[in-house]
Chain A
């Protein structure tokens, strides 16, 4: 089984500046930004003092994010909400766009998340210079540990996000490959003789009928019956060499893993990335009274 782990697919290359690759990442990120921007404009245009359902939901989400932001960064940093929200929304939708199947998660490209992390680093540096002056900012780097720290910060942030999303994708790829192999093994085992599939099909039908009639565990009996019958059908197909090596196990099972690797992990990474952004920026933007 050949499993290759690659980066984003390159759709085409614009032949200027030594070749600009238009990759899946670029398309994904552009689509995410476009959808978010259009949604933002549409919602922002139809605001009213007495909100509809959509506006109430959006306001609730914004207030939740604002609450988190104020808890983390303090009320004086509430004006960071649009930036933090942009990063959060781009991150979570950039991860979730991989669920469409034909587009790759934008956050599975190290170039994207690293740029977001560096943007935050630049913001921090800007505020440090603004608050303490350029000289004290430069003096800070006389200690080489600070250089290491400030370089490591965006790298660790970016690679954490990239690694989790890309890792989820890699594991999904490996899972598909493994399930394909497992399907072949299973089908070969079933279709050694024609007897086994026939027994299984009878057994499956019996289980299904029993599930229809019995009082308890109806659904379980029906599902097991159907699974047996379907396995048997593919076993017969394999035996008769009409359809060979159908990766039947790839049906259903990856969805369970996808809940964790795509939905849960995507949300958690977006949340963690945003939270780290908040913490680092709030470190560079102390409350006004401490400024003086």
Chain B
């Protein structure tokens, strides 16, 4: 066939170009640009959501960390308090026990002392009586006569007392 003029006007080419371009525009707009825009929007939304989630999670984590730190500090204080209280109580209890024991021991010693003294007194008195009876018997036998108890009791008692003083 032949060639067209370099600068020739061809209305059919022009019409064809117009229709072609409009068709391409419609196709690209409908099948490429709209879906791409949609996808980009969706992605943006997803990214925003992920960021929001991350921020929420971060805030949560920070809050729980603060709470944990506070609790930990609190727990430490509490532990120190508990130990202190326990120590104080133990000290107090120990003191009480020791002083109690001391008091009891003192009491027991006192009582024992009193008992001892009483026993001794009793023993001394019994011994005195026995001695007086025995000595009366001895004297009776020696004198072979009955000594008037009433007359000589004073004499005997003085004798025993003198003996007791020697005893001590």
> Is the pairing of A and B real?
yes
Structural contact, B1 and A7, CB atoms closer than 8 A: no
A11-B1 contact, Cβ under 8 Å, with A47-B35, A85-B28: yes
Specify which of B5, B36, B46 is in contact with A6 (CB 8 Å cutoff): B5
Structural contact, A82 and B33, CB atoms closer than 8 A: yes
B9 nearest CB across to chain A (Å): 6
Which B1-41 residues have a C-beta within 8 angstroms of A? 1-14, 16-18, 20-21, 23-25, 27-29, 31-36, 39-40
Report B-chain residues with C-beta under 8 Å of the C-beta of A47.
35-36, 39
A11 to B13, CA, bound (A): 13
Which A12-48 residues have a C-beta within 8 angstroms of B? 12-13, 17, 20-21, 23, 25-26, 29-30, 33, 36-37, 40-41, 43-45, 47-48
Structural contact, A82 and B29, CB atoms closer than 8 A: yes
Specify which of B8, B11, B35 is in contact with A44 (CB 8 Å cutoff): B35
B37 nearest CB across to chain A (Å): 9
B110 within 8 A of A: no
Return the CB mask of B30-65 against A: 1 if under 8 Å, else 0.
011111100110110010000000000000000000
Structural contact, B42 and A5, CB atoms closer than 8 A: no
* Stretch from A106-114, A178-186, A217-225, A267-275 that touches the partner: A106-114
Structural contact, B1 and A9, CB atoms closer than 8 A: yes
Query: B interface, how many residues as a size bin?
Result: 35 or more
A203 to B32, CA, bound (A): 60
A112 to B13, CA, bound (A): 7
A110-B9 contact, Cβ under 8 Å, with A43-B32, A85-B33: yes
A280 within 8 A of B: no
Which A202-245 residues have a C-beta within 8 angstroms of B? none
A150 nearest CB across to chain B (Å): 19
Closest residue of chain A to B6 (Cβ to Cβ) is: A7
A23 to B3, CA, bound (A): 8
A64 within 8 A of B: no
A93 nearest CB across to chain B (Å): 10
Structural contact, A114 and B14, CB atoms closer than 8 A: yes
Report B-chain residues with C-beta under 8 Å of the C-beta of A116.
17, 21
A226 nearest CB across to chain B (Å): 38
Specify which of B4, B18, B23 is in contact with A21 (CB 8 Å cutoff): B4
Structural contact, A40 and B18, CB atoms closer than 8 A: no
A40-B28 contact, Cβ under 8 Å, with A9-B1, A62-B36: yes
A172 nearest CB across to chain B (Å): 14
Structural contact, A82 and B28, CB atoms closer than 8 A: yes
Which A81-99 residues have a C-beta within 8 angstroms of B? 81-83, 85-87, 89-90
Structural contact, A7 and B12, CB atoms closer than 8 A: no
Report B-chain residues with C-beta under 8 Å of the C-beta of A13.
1
Specify which of B3, B16, B28, B40 is in contact with A37 (CB 8 Å cutoff): B28
A26-B39 contact, Cβ under 8 Å, with A44-B31, A62-B33: no
Report B-chain residues with C-beta under 8 Å of the C-beta of A7.
3-8
A157 within 8 A of B: no
B88 nearest CB across to chain A (Å): 66
A189 within 8 A of B: no
A40 to B25, CA, bound (A): 11
B128 nearest CB across to chain A (Å): 122
A5 to B6, CA, bound (A): 7
Report B-chain residues with C-beta under 8 Å of the C-beta of A29.
16-17, 20
Report A-chain residues with C-beta under 8 Å of the C-beta of B25.
82-83, 86
Return the CB mask of A65-87 against B: 1 if under 8 Å, else 0.
00000000000000001110111
Structural contact, A8 and B18, CB atoms closer than 8 A: no
Structural contact, A17 and B12, CB atoms closer than 8 A: yes
Apart from A36-B28, A166-B6, what 16 extra A-B contacts exist at CB < 8 Å? A5-B6, A6-B4, A8-B3, A9-B1, A30-B20, A33-B21, A37-B27, A41-B27, A47-B35, A49-B42, A81-B33, A82-B25, A82-B33, A86-B28, A89-B28, A119-B18
Residues of B within 8 A of A (CB): 1-14, 16-18, 20-21, 23-25, 27-29, 31-36, 39-40, 42-43, 46
A-B contact pairs, 5 of them (CB 8 A): A6-B4, A33-B20, A59-B40, A83-B25, A109-B10
Smallest CB-CB A-B distances: 4 pairs: A7-B4, A6-B3, A82-B29, A40-B32
